[in-house]
């Protein structure tokens, strides 16, 4: 399988959004110049507009999520870093669901079940682990609610008990919190890693189908 790069949305100064942002900035700057009664007023207004434009670019880049699919691994790139898993370490991938009156309702999350936590936990950086823990609190609460254990929710969120994996691996701190969270989520949804459907460039089912094709055609290390 060929290496494939995906992004939830394309943003650069050469893209349509980038050109629109530059055009909007220039139009607003010209408007402020025409309305200003002095050069000082124009300078202050344009400086403020410039910083607002920088803030807008920062927020857009911060929300940009990219993915790399190769013959050997799958990777998610976030603003603060990212994570990577090899295909041989993935047991399954699918759309998360919850049971409602006997029916399974899809959630706006894609789940990945790992065979071994160790490579994932060893490679992930604390900043990304912290972002995952914060951004997926609502998903954890939903799982706790489905399993009628919401009274334990706060303990689950804050659980930083050391985690032993195998005979040699001991995780503490943020990585221990992430490992504990993964165990809870596996109990609730039978998945360990989660990707928000809002961070995709296509429908969740289509994304899952694409990733499964790479998983099926994965090359051994």
More confident: 67 or 22: 67
More confident: 32 or 209: 209
Backbone angles phi, psi at 130, to 5 degrees: -65, -40
Q: Please give the pLDDT value at position 67.
A: 95
Mean of pLDDT values over 53-65: 77
Q: Please give the pLDDT value at position 57.
A: 72
Among the residue ranges 17-26, 66-75, 91-100, 180-189, the one predicted with the least confidence is 17-26
Place of tokens 């691996």: 169
CA 103 to chain centre: 27
Q: Please give the pLDDT value at position 89.
A: 96
How many beta carbons lie within 10 A of that of residue 68, not counting itself?
Answer: 15
Place of tokens 């899809």: 106
Q: Please give the pLDDT value at position 69.
A: 95
Which strands sit side by side in the sheet containing 4-7, from one edge to the other? 4-7, 66-69, 73-78, 81-86
> Which one, of 159, 107, 96, 161, lies nearest residue 133 by Cα?
159
pLDDT tens by residue, 165-204: 877 789 999 999 999 999 999 999 999 999 999 999 999 9
pLDDT tens by residue, 3-46: 998 988 776 666 666 677 677 777 877 777 777 778 787 777 77
More confident: 218 or 197: 197
Q: Please give the pLDDT value at position 172.
A: 93
- 3-state SS string for the chain: CCCEEEECCCCCCCCHHHHHHHHHHHHHHHHHHHHCCCHHHHHHHHHHHHHHHHHHHHHHHHCCCEEEECCCEEEEEECCEEEEEEHHHEEEEEEEEEEECCEEEEEEEEEEEECCCHHHHHHCCHHHHHHHHHHCHHHHHHHHHHCCCHHHHHHHHHCCCCEEECCCEEECHHHHHHHHHHHHHHHHHCCCEEEEHHHCCCCHHHHHHHHHHHHHCCCCC
Q: Determine the Cα–Cα distance for residues 43 and 150; give it in Å rounded to an integer.
A: 55
pTM of the model: 0.80
Contacts of residue 10, defined as CB under 8 A and 6 or more positions apart, other chains included, come to 17
């Amino acid at each position: 399988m060929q290496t494939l790069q995906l992004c939830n949305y394309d943003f650069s100064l050469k893209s349509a959004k980038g050109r629109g942002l530059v055009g909007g900035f220039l139009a607003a700057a010209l408007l402020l110049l025409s309305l200003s009664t002095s050069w000082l007023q124009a300078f202050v207004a344009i400086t403020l507009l410039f910083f607002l434009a920088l803030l807008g670019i920062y927020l857009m880049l911060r929300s940009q999520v990219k993915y790399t699919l190769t013959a050997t691994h799958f990777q998610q790139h976030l603003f603060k870093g990212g994570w990577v898993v090899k295909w041989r370490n993935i047991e399954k991938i699918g759309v998360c669901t919850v049971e409602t009156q006997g029916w399974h309702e899809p959630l706006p999350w894609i789940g990945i079940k790992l065979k071994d936590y160790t490579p994932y936990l060893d490679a992930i950086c604390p900043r990304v682990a912290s972002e995952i823990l914060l951004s997926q609190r609502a998903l954890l609460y939903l799982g706790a609610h489905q399993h009628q254990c919401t009274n334990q929710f706060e303990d689950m969120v804050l659980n930083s008990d050391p985690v032993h994996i195998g005979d040699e691996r001991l995780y503490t701190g943020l990585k221990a919190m992430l490992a504990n969270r993964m165990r809870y989520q596996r109990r609730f949804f039978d998945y360990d890693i989660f990707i928000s459907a809002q961070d995709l460039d296509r429908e969740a089912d289509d994304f899952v189908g694409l990733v499964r094709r790479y998983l099926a055609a994965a090359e051994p290390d």
